[in-house]
Amino acid sequence: MDAKSLLRAKKAGAKIEHPYASYTSGQLKCSICAVPVTQWDAHLLTKQHRTSVAREKASQAKASAKRPAEDSSRSDMKRVKTDKAAESSSSSSSLPIGFFDAPRSGDGGEDEEEDKEDERPQPTSAPPAAVAVPSKPEPTGDLELDAFLSSLNEPDPELSQPAPSSSRRARQRDLSPSDLGVASYSAAPVRIVPETVKEPEEDEEPEPEETEAERRARLEREEKEEIMERLEAEQRAQEDADSRVEALKARMEMLKARRKARPVNVDKKAAKS
């Protein structure tokens, strides 16, 4: 074997290392274009490969942009649940011990209990936990999902304003332990804007077709106008030529007059001398 055959065999046996290069039964194949390749360097410069690479990068960027939006929505839901649970626990801890177990005996007993409660020092309740305002999620292209995520970002007015102690106690009496810490969500209504109704365009009136007589009259009129234009052009050319001839004649007469006057003057000068 000569040197060229050895080089060709060595080059064929060497495998190409590339993210899109793959081998199937020893045959080189482009995984993104799904076509067998013989010359890898030439294939990388083809329009098909460049289009496939651009499409793959666009799909990866779209998927990576959609994944953080889903993660942020899940973290926002968990954060709202934990904030509401902390609010309910802080409101329950502000009640005195044995408040629900106190006996009630008639109106006088209730008045005495209220007086005793007023005389007791009220325990300081822990301030409500601050509600974290999540960042606005990126649009995903789905109207219902975007509306649901935007509704999660709106702060709850009940959590932002602390309720007084008396209304909090009444609420704790009415609520059961099973109702505490339950969060409910409702999606904002999606408004569908109707498409603007296009007004029908007024049909243009078709031009009436001319008859054979009208066509003949139009042709005769155009022919006469063309003849008149030619006659006017010839007349202007004739007038221009006549004016030039008159100018030449006048110049010739002037030259003749000068020639006739010149010898007379010479004779007069000779006589004087």
Q: How far apart are CA 228 and CA 206, in angstroms?
A: 34
pTM of the model: 0.25
Do residue 166 and residue 250 come from a single domain?
A: no
CA atoms within 13 A on the CB side of 267: 5
Judge if 166 and 244 occupy the same domain.
Answer: no
Q: Residue 42: is its pLDDT beyond 50?
A: yes
Domain of 254 in residue numbering reads as 223-273
Does 39 lie in the same domain as 76? no
**What is the C-alpha to C-alpha distance for residues 114 and 108, in angstroms, rounded to an integer?**
10
Residue 24, beta-bridge partner list? 27
Tell me the mean pLDDT in the region 170-192: 58
Residue 19: pLDDT over 90:
no
**Is the pLDDT score of 185 beyond 80?**
no
Residue 189 lies in a domain: no
Query: Are 159 and 257 contained in the same domain?
Result: no
Return the minimum-mean-pLDDT range out of 9-23, 125-139, 217-231.
Answer: 125-139
If asked whether residues 36 and 73 sit together in one domain, one would say no
What kind and span of H or E run contains 21?
strand 21-24
Please tell me whether residues 229 and 141 are part of one structural domain.
no
Q: Length of the chain, please?
A: 273
| pLDDT for 106 | 46
Instruction: Name the packing angle between helices 165-174 and 47-93 (round to 10°).
Output: 100
Q: Is 102 contained in some domain? A: no
Amino acid at 123: P
pLDDT per residue over 31-41, tens digit each? 888 888 888 88
Q: How confident is the model at residue 238 (pLDDT cuts 50, 70, 90)?
A: very high
Do 80 and 8 lie in one domain? The reply is no
3-class state of residue 33 by DSSP: coil
| Residue 101 forms part of a structural domain | no
- Domain assignment of residue 234, yes or no: yes
The share of the chain scoring above pLDDT 70, in percent, equals 46
Mean pLDDT of the region 47-67: 88
**Confidence (pLDDT) at 272:** 63
> 11-15, 65-69, 120-124: which range is least confident on average?
120-124
Kindly give the pairing relationship between strand 27-30 and strand 21-24: antiparallel
What is the Cα–Cα distance from 153 to 150, expressed in whole angstroms? 5
Q: Which residues contact 215 (CB under 8 A, 6 or more apart)?
A: none
Residues 7 and 41 reside in one and the same domain: yes
Query: Is 48's pLDDT higher than 70?
Result: yes
Residue 69 has pLDDT above 60, yes or no: yes
- Residue 113: what pLDDT? 58
* Residues sharing a CB contact under 8 Å with residue 155, sequence separation 6 or more, in sequence order: 131, 133
Total domains, the chain = 3
Three-state DSSP state, 28: strand
Is residue 207's pLDDT more than 60? yes
Cβ-contact 51, 71 below 8 angstroms: no
For 114-145, write each residue's pLDDT tens digit. 555 555 555 555 454 444 555 666 666 677 77
Q: Under 8 Å CB-to-CB from 65, ≥6 apart: which residues?
A: 138
Q: How confident is the model at residue 198 (pLDDT cuts 50, 70, 90)?
A: low
User: Could you give the percent of the chain with pLDDT greater than 90?
Assistant: 15
Tell me the Ramachandran region of residue 124: left when phi exceeds 0, alpha when psi lies from -120 to 50, beta otherwise.
beta
